[in-house]
Structures are given as C-alpha cells and as structure tokens.
Amino acid sequence: METLRKLEILSAAAKYDVSCSSSGSNRQSSKGLGNAYRAGICHSWSEDGRCISLLKVLFTNYCIYDCIYCANRKGNDIQRASFTPEELIDLTVSFYRRNYIEGLFLSSAVMKSPDFTMEMLLRVVRKLRIEGGFNGYIHLKAIPGADKSLIYAAGLYVDRMSMNIELPSEKSLSLLASDKDYVGIVNNIAFIGDRVASHRAERKKSIKAPSFVPAGQSTQLIVGASPESDLQILRQSEVFYRNYDMKRVYYSAYCHVNQDSRLPALTKPPLRREHRLYQADWLLRYYGFTAEEILKDSDPYLDEELDPKVTWALRNPHLFPVEVNRADYDTLLRVPGIGIKSAKRIILARRFSSLSPESLRRLGVVMKRARYFILCGGKLCLQEHERKGDFKASLNQTRDMSDSVKPLSLF
Ligand code: SF4
C-alpha cells in the first residue's frame, strides 16, 4: 500500500482522539491559495502557549483489543494499515521541511502486544530525534499495558505523553474494554507523573539533566459511554491533578460508532455535557475548587444551562454579594465573571482608587455575570428592574426563554 493511502487511513482513524484541538478539514484545493488536505493536520498548544500544527496519526489501526466503543476494535470490518517506523519518520520530516507541520501527535492501536507496539513507537521517536535531528514538538500516546521501561525510554524523547484512562471506573472499563486493565493504567499514569516530577527537580539542579516529558502528561476520558456521573468524573480528574502531576484531562463526548447492547443508545454525542465538564475542570485546575464543592452526591450532574461557577454561586447565596473594593484574591476568584487576570487587576487597581462598575468593566470583568454577585462601594451594581427579574435566564442568554423556568430574584 502506498504511504499516502496509509496516511489517509491512519489519520482518519486518529480523529477520535481529542487531545489535539482540531482535526484537518476536508476542503480541497480547486483554485486560489492553500489546500487543507484532510490527512491529519491538527492544532494544539505548546508549553509556551503557541498554537502549533501537528501531524496527527496512528502508527497502526490493526488492533488485538476489542474495546466496544472504538471504531478500530478488532471485530470491525474496516480497512487496516500500518506504517513502518521509517515511513512515518520520512513523512514527518518531509512535512516539517515543507512547513506543513511543527510537530507530531502519534498514537496507535495495539498491534501484536502492548510491548511490541510501544517498541515501534519508541523506535519512531528515538530515530526522529537522534538520526533525523528532529526538534519539533512530539506528543506520544503511551500504550496501556506496555512495560514501564519502554514508556520511560520513550518519555526521554517526547514533549508530552498521554496514557488514556478512557472510562472513569474500573467496572465500566472492564465491561466496555475488557482487554484493558484499569489499575495498570492508573499505575502507569502514576509512574509517568512521578518521573515527570523527579526529572523536573533534577533539571532545576542541573541544566544538563535529561528532560522527561517536559510539557507534562495528559489523559482522555470518554463522557457518556458509561453511567458515571459528572461528580465521579470530576473526582477522577481531581485525583489525577492532585496526585499524579497530570497537566490536562481531555473529555471526549461519546460518539456512537458501534452497535452493542452494552453501549448507551445516544443519538448525538453529549457535547453540552462535555463543554460543562471542561468548564468545571478549569475550576479545579485554576480556581482552587474541589469536585465536592462543584457537585454533591445528592445532585451529581452539572447544570447544562448554566456554567458551573454560576451554579456554585447560586447554591451559596450566603457568600454573596462580595465587596470588590475589599475582598481578598481567593474570594474575588469565586465571583462569576471575574477571572484570574481580572482578579489580579482588581487587587492592583483598588490601591489607587475605589472601583466603580465602569472601572471593573475596563479591568476585564464580565459585568453581565458579575453584577449579580458584587457590591461596588457598598452598592449593588444592578438596575432596579434587574433586582426583581429572572436573573437565571439573563445569566444565560443562550437559554430558550420560553422554558418554564420560575423567575428567581437574588437580592
Ligand atoms: S486498544 Fe481499544 S481503543 Fe485502542 S484502538 Fe484498540 S480497540 Fe480501539
């Protein structure tokens, strides 16, 4: 099979992995400039925040596993292909030289055995770096079940590494992906996190110490394929962030690609739920929230109509309104409409003068939301009619106003 045909098959097979932010479009070149060829160019963000384009591809889609939710499972009758390490290296280097890409996002199905596949991936990244002199970004998916020594060796050559947990509980993983070992995957995530932290510490002592996965590790969780609640998912993510030096958990709305009675009968991927989980995840990582603060066992799902920070504020009316001219940084961060940058700007600006609604707007506060939760110089920032109106509907202007929501009044 020609390399280009393999590229078409294996980049299409990689599209369900969401750790890259966008996959290649299929706009063809007819006339004019450029050609967004559909074979696998996607975008991601490097450690320093730059948007970079990556060749996103599987090494192979031959798989010995039969994960029920996956298009590449061994039981599916699909066209299969596999690169040789040398083909993939040539492809990456030639795309890089032509300025198509700035890096490689390499994943794989499990061919022959986890160790065999991991050895192939290791060969690709090692040769790329050492023989190809390739200095571009590499994001490598480690293979579940592969030996730690192989994972460690590969981590010395790549910028970011992922080990996908896929489902938020051992029970669901054994039901839908019985070839995979939940505890083994968590152990490998812990192992990668431990090595990332120890190499980071060594690099602080000596610049000559080798780096290991310097852009950190990530994982992916499928949302909606199994019955776990949002609270269970967020608890899982919290453990990864707090204990395993996890840089990022990606949430992937479940796409119905296979027929099986063990799978939910969803007609559409639960994208709104995925979106709310990303917002809640942001609260875990940057705003000091815990999963238990965001959700309760008695109410374990995120409100799909309101963002999680607003929902938390509405559940805790005794903490509001907050006086922006006096509140400390952590309290400001919890106000809907005030982000990390605007909270810092507020702390700085109020040293010189008392803040008004207008000055808050100039500091980047989203007053559309914040005005319901703050005082400026002891005064509410709401108009008279807004104090009595349906603030929940106006907090979420995308909501269908014909919904029979009982109007609420905060103050
Ligand atoms: S290991 Fe499972 S999820 Fe990965 S490609 Fe094979 S069947 Fe799909």
Cβ–ligand 1 distance for 42 under 6 Å, the answer no
Ligand 1 centroid distance, CA of 63 (Å): 6
Q: What pLDDT was estimated at residue 79? A: 94
Ligand 1 atom at minimum distance from 64 CA:
6
Look up tokens 């509907």; give the residue: 393
**The two structure tokens encoding residue 287:** 């705003």
Look up tokens 């969780």; give the residue: 221
Ligand 1 centroid distance, CA of 110 (Å): 7
In this structure, are residues 189 and 219 in contact, taking their beta carbons and an 8 Å threshold? yes
To the nearest 10 degrees (0 to 180), the angle between helices 271-286 and 308-315 is: 70
In this structure, are residues 307 and 282 in contact, taking their beta carbons and an 8 Å threshold? no
Q: How far apart are CA 71 and CA 257, in angstroms?
A: 6
In this structure, are residues 159 and 47 in contact, taking their beta carbons and an 8 Å threshold? yes
Note the pTM of the prediction, 2 decimals: 0.85
Q: How far apart are CA 165 and CA 70, in angstroms?
A: 14
Is residue 148 pLDDT above 90, yes or no?
yes
pLDDT digits (tens, 9 = 90+) for 159-215: 999 999 999 999 999 999 999 999 999 999 999 999 999 999 999 999 899 999 999
Name the maximum alpha-carbon separation found in the chain: 73
Q: Which residues, including other chains, have CB under 8 Å from residue 170's CB and lie 6 or more apart?
A: 182, 183
What mean pLDDT do residues 46-64 have? 80
Where does residue 28 rank: exposed (0-12), middle (13-18), buried (19+ CB within 10 A)? Answer: exposed
Atom 2 of ligand 1: nearest residue by CA position: 67
Atom 4 of ligand 1: nearest residue by CA position: 109
Q: What pLDDT was estimated at residue 54? A: 82
Look up tokens 């607003």; give the residue: 310
Ligand 1 centroid distance, CA of 8 (Å): 18
Ligand 1 centroid distance, CA of 12 (Å): 14
Cβ–ligand 1 distance for 65 under 6 Å, the answer yes
pLDDT digits (tens, 9 = 90+) for 344-383: 999 999 999 999 999 999 999 999 999 999 999 888 887 7
**Short-list 144, 157, 80, 53, CA closest to 107:** 144
What mean pLDDT do residues 267-284 have? 95
In this structure, are residues 302 and 280 in contact, taking their beta carbons and an 8 Å threshold? yes
Is residue 135 pLDDT above 50, yes or no?
yes
In this structure, are residues 334 and 345 in contact, taking their beta carbons and an 8 Å threshold? no
Element (H, E) at 149: helix 148-155
Q: What pLDDT was estimated at residue 407? A: 35
What mean pLDDT do residues 18-46 have? 49
Is residue 393 pLDDT above 80, yes or no?
no
Structural domains in the chain, CATH included, are 3-26+34-221+234-260 (3.20.20), 316-395 (no CATH)
Ligand 1 atom at minimum distance from 166 CA:
3
In this structure, are residues 114 and 122 in contact, taking their beta carbons and an 8 Å threshold? no
